[in-house]
Structures are given as structure tokens and as C-alpha cells.
Chain A
Amino acid sequence: MTDPSTASAVTTAPEEFVTAAEHAEVKGNKPRSLASDAWHDLRRRPLFLVSAALILLVLLMSFWPSLFTSVDPNYAELSKSREGPSGAAWFGYDNQGYDLFSRTIYGSRASIIVGVAATLLTVLIGSTFGLLAGYYGGWLDGLMSRIADVFFGLPFVLGAIVILSSFRSSGDTSPTQIILLVVLSISILSWPVCMRIMRSAAIAAKQQDYVKAARALGASTSRIILRHMLPNAVAPVLVYATIALGAFIGAEATLSFLGIGLRAPVVSWGVMISDSRDVIRVAPHSLLFPAAFLTATVLAFVMLGDAVREALDPKAR
């Protein structure tokens, strides 16, 4: 009458104690997909957490700069020109006597918008065309590849000068319009690279037997492209996108430097870096701080891309 197993079964509710094995089994019984597995995996990846925190911080900076500083980024005091970092101005002052800390915070907005928007647009155009060209092949592939070759042949700076100077001739263009134009010209000149990467990855994925099996099951073209080819072709594009993001923020700086991109009173890291070029030796901090923020942001996106790419590859887990 003193059987311990029956005694415990009576006295304890079964829900209260769940062994590790039972817990795993309960979780194992719920079907999961690649996306949920990837998310589950990402949440415990330090690389992802660090980069996501950094990106969140930069986004916060760009949307609510007043949270970080109360100094007007466009208030210059020439008497403080090229003063080094101090308690009053953490990052010091630049050649014109602007507060560098305030300008770095306010400058994140234009840089992030240009970098992220141009990357998204480039990847969107490039991978759509690449996937379609890779899947259908034939004359469509030929046509798209030749169009891409035309854009590929345009030198970046020359092409951007032509696009920007012909579309902003009215003289009185608002900062938003300029940002939009810069984003558009960068994307229009960069999508062929992304298209070529996606096209070759799509061609490789298309020849796999699992695509054949899906067709034998009667899968539609969109299902084959989105469920079978895209997940298997996205990795190289993701790598390209994270590298391109940094390059695009730099490209914005190049265009600003040439006088066709953003200009005062709009602040951006690119503008700050190009402003500092004349005073690098006497005031290196005016280059150091915006460049450090730019580098950290690009690094955060590269790490994020790396983490996502690994999470999407079941073999790498």
C-alpha cells in the first residue's frame, strides 16, 4: 500500500513538474519551419544581439536625435574652431566651430536613410530581375542581362553626376528630394551587380533535383521561386547587401563632396568626413568621430547579415 509511484501520482499535479526530456518532446511535437528555427537560433547568437543593439541605437539616433543632444548642429561659433574634445563638447569642434557630437548625432539620419534605402532598393530590383532571369532563362535572361550590362558599363560617379545634375536643375530642391535622388541614382547604378549574383545563384538552385520534385508535385512557378529557389540563393546576395550598405554611405559622401549630393544645412556623416579633409592634421578629431560612427554602423550591418545568413543555413547551426 505504500507504492511510492502511485503516492506521488496522486499528490502532485502532472503539469507542475516537467522533465527536460518531456519539455523537449512537447516542443518537438509542434512543426517548425525554417523561419521560426532561424529566429529561435538568432535570439541566442551574441553576434546578432550585439549588432542588433548597435543598429537600434543608430536608428534611435537618426529618428530622435534630440534624445542624445540639445545642441543645435547648425550653430557655429568660429572662436571655438578646431577645439579638441572637452567636457562641454565631447567630440570637440570642427573648422567652422560646429559641435561635432551634435552633428554626428544629427548626421546619422541622412546617412542611414541613404544607406538602408539604397541597399533595399538595389537588392529588391537586383534579386527580382536576377531570380526571373535565372528561372526563365532564354530570351528573357538575354534581354535582362543586356540591360544590366548597359547600366554596369556606366562609371558610377559619372552616371550619378548625370542623373543628379539633370534632375535637380530647378535649383530649389528640398533635402528630402535630394536624399530621394541620391538613393535612386545609387540603386539604378548598382542593381546589375546584385542581379548577376542572384542570377547565378538562381541558375544553380534551379538545376537541383528538389525543384524537379516540386514541379512533379504540381507546384506553381511562384512557389518554386519563393519557397525553393529564393532561400537557397539568398545567401550571396545577403553578403553583398551588407557590404554594399557601407559602400553606399560612402558613395553619398562622395556625391556630397562633388557638390551634387547633400549639402548644408543637411548634415550627414559623408558631408562631415568630406568637410574634415582640409584640417585632418590640425584637427584629426573632426574626421575621427564621424568616421568611427560610420565604421561601427557598417560593421553592425555586416555582422547582422552574417548572423542572418548563418541562421538561414540549417547546416551552419
Chain B
Amino acid sequence: MTDNIIEVRDLVKHFPVRVGVLFKRTVGHVRAVDGVSFDLKRGETLGVVGESGCGKSTLAQVLMRLEPPTSGTATFEGRDILKMKGGELRKLRRDIQIVLQDPYTSLNPRMTVGDIIGEPFEIHPEVAPKASRAKKVRELLDVVGLNPEHINRYPHQFSGGQRQRIGIARALALRPKVIVCDEPVSALDVSIQAQVMNLLGDLQTEFGLSYVFIAHDLSVVRHLSDRVAVMYLGKMVEVGTEEEIYEHPTHPYTQALLSAVPVPDPELRDHRQVIRLEGDVPSPVDPPSGCRFRTRCWKAQDICATEEPKLVTRVANHPSACHFAEEKSVVP
């Protein structure tokens, strides 16, 4: 038996681009997620990093069944998430939950905190009998570090970090096994980011959670993740443990990303080599042939345009989607 709680294989999500006023014509597809495969082990945190528009959030939406997939499979404990319907899908909601990015829009401004955190119990009444719900809501507030007496307050009476804690409490209410965190700290202040991430870490130990942790900040991901997947234009370019990715990156894109991480030590800062990428991210409607990164890659050769590099292990014991993968430490 494998201990993978989630297995994703060749997941594809294309959004059609339509033009026309009355009769819509499809002129192309935005390949938001284009053949992504990964495993999430029980109790581990998989960090997913990549720049804006690379398909991280779409991946989360498809996993949560908020968007229908174009093709591919994703299984949760052996059952296919993407084919579930009705009652089975409702049950899945109890096992996989999401924490959204913006704490200012993810809480209904016209519901009390008690109603927001209590809503999961109302939707899934079998989880907790009516009489115990108020107590459970108070416990949840306590678990995420908020005052249980604030149960009757409204979201606008809280700060950004507190609101995100409310969002986490809501996701936690049904005791899920997996929580998808869609950039949960990117809208927060740096000092608050640390608090929320520590909370997420504590909750993981306490409840044995598995996280899919999406972020565009490499240092945030490193803080929490056991394994890291780097995405570029809807594809995963490198997957490895935290150490493999940060200390021994092999894909040029990962190396470029890492070289841009700010270094706190001014002595070391002068010695490091910054890899500056030229040009913009190509349009996901019409991605480059072969390797998608080749238009900005300093190693690109003819083969990169004709043959798409597979995500396989070439060097350094972890998979990397580059024909010319080579280990290079960029973080001093």
C-alpha cells in the first residue's frame, strides 16, 4: 500500500477563449494547468511555487472541484476526486478543505464569526449534533488562537491576520485530512505571515493534516514544506524535498527563482550571482513548443524547441524537466 493521500496524474485544465457578441466562437485555450502530476503523502506539506499566472491557483480550484477539470485524474485515498458526484462529493468536502488567499473577501461580511465557523456543521449536520455546535465553534476559535468570546463579532472587526485565522478555523471545522492553502499568507503583513504559518505548522502536528501549500514566496514555502514543486506555465518543472530544491536545484528556472531570494547578509550579498531572466512569461494561450521555459533560458538549444523534456530524474536524485539539468547551488 502506498501512503499517498492524494495522487494527481496528468491533470489538465484549459479555459476556452471565446469571442463574439451573440454567437461565441472558441478561438483558443488558456492552458492554465497542462499535465501536472504529483503525490501528496499523508501528513506532509507539499509546497507549490511559481510566479503569477503559472496555474497554481487553478490547480487548487480543480483539486477542490470548484472548477471542472479538462482531463486527467486525481485520487483521494484511492477514489477519483474528479469523477465524484452528489453525496460522495459532499463527503469528500469533509476530507479536503481550502484556505483562501484574501482574508478580506473570503469571509461573508454579513455573518457573525460564529455563523461563519458554524456553517460547515450546518452543511454537514451529521458531523456534530445541533446542541454541541456552539461549543465546537468556541473550541475552534480557541484552537486558532482567537478569543472564543468574539463569537458574535463580524469580520470587519478583525485584523487581516485574525481574519485568516477565522478562515483556517472554518476549514478545520470538519476535521479534514487535507487542507489546500491557496496563498494563505500573501495578503498579510510579514510579521503576521510568520504567526499564521506557525499556526498552520502547529495544527499539522496536532491534527495530522496534509497540506498542499501554494505560494509565490520561496522563503514562505521553505519554512513549512517537506517537499516543493516548482511550476512554470502550467507545468511542473522540478519536484524534490525542501533540501533538494533549495540546496541542489537542477532546473534553470528554479535556479533563477532562488537567485532572486533576498539575502539578509550584506557581505554575502555582494558575492552571490543573480540570474536575471530576460523577457516576459509567454502567453499560456500559445505556449512555446518543446520546453516552455526555452524562450527565457540561457541554456536553450535546438532540442529544447523540438522535444519536451520529461519530469524525470537526471541528476541530483530528484526529477527535473530540463534536457540540460545540472546541479548548481545559487543560495550562498
**How large, as a class, is the contact surface on chain B?**
35 or more
Q: Which residues of A contact B124 (CB under 8 A)?
A: 217-218
Does B331 have its Cβ within 8 Å of any Cβ on chain A? no
Interface centre among B119, B134, B137, B174 (most CB of A within 10 A): B119
Q: Which residues of B contact A218 (CB under 8 A)?
A: 89-90, 93-94, 123-124
Number of A-B contacts (CB under 8 A): 90
Query: B108 at interface (Cβ–Cβ under 8 A)?
Result: yes
In the assembly, what is the distance between CA of A212 and CA of B106, in Å? Answer: 8
B105 touches A209 (CB 8 A): yes
- Measured CB to CB, the nearest residue on chain A to B92 is A218
Chain A residue contacts of B66, Cβ below 8 A: 212, 215-216
B295 within 8 A of A: no
Within 8 Å CB of B112, what residues of A? 31-34, 37
| Bound complex: CA A36 to CA B119 (Å) | 17
Contact of B98 among A208, A216, A220, A315 (CB under 8 A): A216
Closest to B91 in A: A218
- A3 interfacial by beta-carbon distance below 8 Å: no
Interface size class of A (residues with CB under 8 A): 20 to 34
Asked whether A213 lies within 8 Å of B149 as measured between CB atoms, the reply is no
Interface-lining segment among B150-158, B234-242, B308-316: B150-158
Q: Is A81 an interface residue (CB 8 A)?
A: no
Residue of B nearest to A220 (CB): B123
In-complex Cβ contact of A315 among B93, B102, B156 (8 A): B156
Q: Which residues of A contact B119 (CB under 8 A)?
A: 214, 217, 219, 227
- A80 in the interface, Cβ–Cβ < 8 Å? no
A312 to B111, CA, bound (A): 10
Does B78 make an interface contact (CB < 8 A)? no
Chain B residue at minimum C-beta to C-beta distance from A33: B115
CB-nearest residue of chain A relative to B102? A209
Judged by a CB distance under 8 angstroms, whether A236 is at the interface is no
Determine the residue in chain A with the shortest Cβ distance to B110: A231
Partner of B93, one of A208, A209, A217: A217
Chain B residue at smallest Cβ distance from A228? B108
Q: Are A232 and B110 in contact (CB under 8 A)?
A: yes
Interface status of A77 (Cβ within 8 A of chain B)? no
For the complex, give the distance between the alpha carbons of A216 and B173 in Å.
Answer: 13
Q: Is A25 an interface residue (CB 8 A)?
A: yes
Residue from A33, A216, A228, A232 having most chain B Cβ neighbours under 10 A: A216
Cβ–Cβ contact B111 & A34, under 8 A: yes
**Residues in A whose Cβ lies below 8 Å from that of B156:** 314-315
The interface residues of chain B lying within 8 Å CB-to-CB of A220 are: 123
Q: Is B97 an interface residue (CB 8 A)?
A: yes
Contact with B along A179-206 (1 / 0, CB 8 A): 0000000000000000000000000000
A217-B123 contact given A34-B112, A209-B105, CB 8 Å threshold: yes
Interface residue A72 (Cβ < 8 Å from any Cβ of B): no
Closest to A223 in B: B123
- Verify if B56 is at the interface (C-beta below 8 Å from A): no
CB distance from A237 to the nearest CB of B (A): 15
Within A19-56, which residues are at the interface with B (CB < 8 Å)? 25, 28-29, 31-34, 37
Q: In the assembled complex, how far is the CB of residue A208 from the closest CB belonging to chain B, in whole angstroms?
A: 5
> What 5 A-B pairs are tightest by C-beta distance, nearest first?
A218-B93, A314-B154, A209-B106, A209-B105, A210-B108
Beyond A31-B112, A212-B66, A232-B110, 9 additional contacts (C-beta under 8 Å) are A29-B149, A33-B112, A208-B108, A210-B108, A217-B124, A218-B93, A218-B123, A218-B124, A312-B110
